[in-house]
Amino acid sequence: MRLFFSGLRKLARRPATWVTVGLLIGLLVLIIVAVGSGVNGRSLRNGGASGADPKLLVTFPGAYDRILQFITGLGGLFALIYGAAIAGSEWSWGTLKWAVARGESRVRYMLISYVTVAVMIAFGILLTFAAGVLAAIVGAHLANVSTSGLGDSATLRDLPQRLLKGWFAVVEEGALGFTIATLARSQLAGIGVGIAFYFGEGFASIFLPDIVKYLPFSVANASLVTGSSTAGVFAGGTSALPADQAQVLVVVWLVGALVLAALFSDRAEIAG
Amino acid sequence: MSGTDGLALATRGLRKRYGSRRALDGLDLSVPTGVVYGFLGPNGAGKTTTMRVLTGLIHADGGTVEVLGRPFRRGDRHRLFEVGALVESPTFYPYLSGRANLRELAASGAHVSSKRIDELLELVGLSDRAKDKVQDYSMGMKQRLGIGAALLSDPKLLLLDEPANGLDPAGIVAMRDTLRALAAQGKTVVVSSHLLGEVQVMADTVGIIAAGKLVREGPLRELLSMQRVVKVRVRPNLVDAAIKALASFAPAERLTETDRDEGWLAVRAEADCAEEVNQLLAGAGIFASGLESGSDLEMLFLELTGGQAVSGEGTFVGLDAANGSATVGKGTAA
């Protein structure tokens, strides 16, 4: 537990933690407020049936879904970068070296480091979601949209489970960044390669949808699709896996990534 | 492991390769308990590789290590709970304070009390700056924090790689006194350093390695007693004449120009022969402006390591002030 609480303290004081969550909140609030101001008085296109009308972002209870999609979409990329930054810095700054020289288990150290990252991701998602809901209320007032759907009981009942699934998907994406940076033994290389993988998978889904639908970012997005929500840009489009299958693959990718990071850390020669 | 009783640290036949380069080539170290052990060697000789193996950062290709009387193999990480180490330049979380860095470091490995952290900050003179972020620390402050970090679990065996790096003269003296005090308490301190003068003042025992092998090891006093040196200073333009005048007394392999520009010559001799050297020079009409007699670790080091660069590692090449051409150091045999 010493390592776990130490990990949390380190992340809580780390500027990257607050920059990441601040950027995500800032972008979400900006978009929602901009939408609220821009759609003032206009009615929903086709009654909102297409799901693409920006006004849905400030119309409850659908706004909950849109905010969550934003968090799991862009938040996934941010988690990837954050995970890479945390793992990479242990190598770049040489702080892993200290722990190993003090007799700490490399595997335990790396896995607990990621557990603390997962806890911070949960905190970030909750904070961003709360900020998003507040912004959506403000946006609804700006757009002259009723907020009567805010207390929709069916949506609120499903919300914890959907937040949990969203957290799990984002944690999987963060684990990929964490592992890539571990393999690269570098913060910058980890972030760079992680971003390349993220967008590479997105582009590849255009040409190889039947393969890409099994890849980590696609399954993370597909795992969040429900009857009322649509798949994100990287969910593999029409080839996206059913949510329950995607959830299994999210677990496989998450565990696989962490096992790889742990094995590599255990075998690696630490120099410099 | 045979013959390792009473040793705080022992390696036998330690081998390590980096690709085709042999970093350690059957290294046998025997570090007695309760001493300051000076671990010396030229750049690339294998000092840092040895430190990395001893702290579990890298794994040896062959050979054995015994730490505090017990085998230290892959997986025996708990043995390091009684070892403190500073390997290469100390690095920390730059956004945390010195105190916070020690606190988070203490969360790994052996248990450390928060009182101990305060004591160590006091010891290394960082109490006043303990709340400042490490990114604002000077190199010397980071080095002191690193020494404090190495001492966190009150180790029985302390491994320090170039601990004097970045320290000011007062800091070096304080560090030396601290390490001597730790040895007096029965702890063992292994100091890898290129500062021969510092090691000569501080160490009880030295081990000198070259090309990954131990070339000499033993109590410093014993080693130096075999390495008596008379240093004599003459006018620089009379250096050649002085070498000729001393030829009958000291053949070329015992005579070294330590600094031609300043006119310094060193004569290795079995016993104190300063008077004899002075007489010979005076007989040749050369009058010494300086004469020193004693033992010199630098001479011993250069003799044992050949003063040569390790293959692939290179060494410092000085510029000859007279003609601007590059020459390898001045410590070569006349």
Q: Convert the pLDDT of each residue in B56-75 to its tens digit.
A: 999 999 999 999 999 999 88
Name the token pair of B297. 């670790």
Q: Of A121, A24, A74, which is closest to residue A221 (Cα–Cα)?
A: A74
- Averaged over B238-260, what is the pLDDT? 77
Mean pLDDT of A209-232: 80
Q: How far is B150 from chain A (nearest CA, A)?
A: 8
Cα distances (Å, whole numbers) of residue A42 to A54, A59, B56: 11, 12, 67
Asked if residue B328 has pLDDT above 50, the reply is: no
Average pLDDT over residues B197-218: 90
Does A272 map to a domain? no
- Tens-place pLDDT, residues B87-129: 888 889 999 999 999 999 999 988 888 899 999 999 888 999 9
**Phi, psi angle pair for B266, to nearest 5°:** -120, 135
Distance CA B85, CA B119 (A): 18
Of chain B residues 50-69, which have a CB less than 8 A from chain A? Answer: 52, 55-59
B109 and chain A: CB distance < 8 Å anywhere?
Answer: yes
Tokens 């919300």, located at residue: A159
Q: Do A101 and B85 touch (CB under 8 A)?
A: yes
Query: What is the reported pLDDT for B156?
Result: 94
pLDDT recorded at residue A230 = 52
B74 and chain A: CB distance < 8 Å anywhere? no
Provide, as residue numbers in chain B, all residues whose Cβ is less than 8 Å from the Cβ of A269: 52, 57-59
Contact between B316 and B297 (Cβ < 8 Å)? no
Residue of A nearest to B57 (CA): A270
Residue B224 has pLDDT above 90, yes or no: no
Q: CB–CB of B57 and A14 under 8 A?
A: no
**CB B61 within 8 Å of CB B16:** yes
- Considering only A67-81, B90-104, B137-151, B320-334, which range has the smallest mean pLDDT? B320-334
The 3-class secondary structure across A97-159, one letter per residue, is: HHHHHCCCCHHHHHHHHHHHHHHHHHHHHHHHHHHHHHHHHHHHHHCCCCCHHHHCHHHHHHH
- Token pair 């390592």 is found at A3
Domain count within chain A: 1
Report residue B217: phi and psi, to 5°: -150, 140
d(CA B324, CA A35): 73
How far does Cα A213 stand from its chain's mean position?
A: 18
| Per-residue pLDDT, B265 | 74
In a domain, residue A166? The reply is yes
Q: Which tokens hold the place of B242?
A: 């002085």
Q: How far is B55 from chain A (nearest CA, A)?
A: 5
A271 contacts B58? CB cut-off 8 A: yes
Query: The tokens of B39 are what?
Result: 């671990």
Interface probe, candidates A102, A106, A107, A267, chain B, greatest B C-beta count within 10 A: A102
Name B191's bridge partners.
B38, B160
Read off the pLDDT band of A44 (50, 70, 90): low
- Distance between CA atoms of B148 and A240, rounded to whole angstroms? 55
Half-sphere exposure of A251 (CA within 13 A, CB side): 6
Task: Check whether B16 has a pLDDT greater than 80.
Answer: yes
Report whether pLDDT(B272) > 90. Answer: no
Closest Cβ–Cβ partner in A14, A15, A102 for B109: A102
Name chain B contacts of A101, Cβ cutoff 8 Å.
55-57, 80, 83, 85, 87
ipTM of the complex: 0.87
Q: Count the neighbouring beta carbons within 10 Å of the beta carbon of residue A220.
A: 31
Q: Which residue range forms the structural domain that includes residue A69?
A: 2-267
Looking at the complex, does the CB of residue A94 fall below 8 Å from at least one CB of chain B? yes
What domains appear along chain B, each with residue ranges and CATH number? Answer: 7-219 (3.40.50.300), 227-328 (3.30.70.100)
